[in-house]
Structure 1
Amino acid sequence: MTENTMIFTTNEQEIVKGIVPTGQLIVDSDQLSFVYLGEVEEEYVYLYLSETCWEDLRAGIHNNVQFFLDVDGEVVELIELNEELTYLISNIEGNGNYGEQMVEKVESIFINS
């Protein structure tokens, strides 16, 4: 993370090489993850943002950084990640439809800290 950017890397470089960001974010409550959707050759690729990086995501949102993914030197912007994440956090807060554990984790890291 720098002053205005946060760059993620992945061990799954072959899977995400040539990824095209969609600007969409979904939730996987079972895996306690936010999932950024990308496309490679017209198929969806799921970039899991697990709770291990949520502190960094919170800092990124707070500092209004641009989020990027570095795949073997190919850097692409994860468009709309900040906006999508902010929306999902507000939607998850107090919403049992996401599961008790997901709500508790999101509230403890993004809302109550």
Structure 2
Amino acid sequence: MPLRLNVQSTAWEENKLYLNVSDEVSQQLSEWKDSERMLVDSDGLAFIYVLENNEGFIHIAIGSSHWADAKKALLERAAVVIRNVKGEELELTAFSSEMDYLTENIQGNANYGQQMEEEVIRIFGTEEKAQ
């Protein structure tokens, strides 16, 4: 089973969105690799960014309370970076492309559940994103 880390808070610094996690793992963030893909947790109302290491996968859960910042990052095409309690950072290089795909796919798609679809439409709407 993948390790799941929830985003605890977000912060904007130098036109970057930082997703802050309090990781309970002993590994250094430098041992994690960006898998460049995202999943959806419809029941938990979260987007899941997938990282990996030698032991398996790490799921970074971005709950709906952080979606407004995610939307801003999409609109501004800002870098999105995960940061742990030690201050180590890893840029999530596929965040914008994956979020664009998922938010567009979820709208009008009952497979994700009514609550997930409604929340995505409420926060992300159908606004044009920056090119």
Q: Which runs of 5+ in 1 are unaligned?
A: none
Q: RMSD of the TM alignment (CA)?
A: 1.7
Shift in alpha-carbon separation, 1:15–1:27, aligned structure 2, 3 A: farther
Matches within 5 A, 1:40-59: 40-59=53-72
Give CA-to-partner distance per residue, 1:12-48, whole Å, 9 cap, x none.
2526633211110010100000000001224001000
User: Given that residues 22 and 37 in structure 1 are in contact (C-alpha distance below 8 angstroms), is that contact kept between their aligned partners in structure 2?
Assistant: yes
Please state if 1:70 is matched with 2:83.
Answer: yes
* Aligned structure 1 segments of 4 or more residues deviating by more than 4 angstroms: none
More helix by share: 1
> Match of 1:35?
48
> Match of 1:60?
73
Please state if 1:100 is matched with 2:114.
Answer: yes
Secondary structure, in 3 states, of the residue corresponding to 1:14?
coil
Distance in 2, matches of 1:61 and 1:48, equals 17
Q: Which runs of 5+ in 2 are unaligned?
A: 1-11
Q: What's the TM-score once normalised by structure 2's chain length?
A: 0.80
Please state if 1:11 is matched with 2:22.
Answer: yes
Q: What's the TM-score once normalised by structure 1's chain length?
A: 0.91
User: Percent identity of the aligned residues?
Assistant: 29
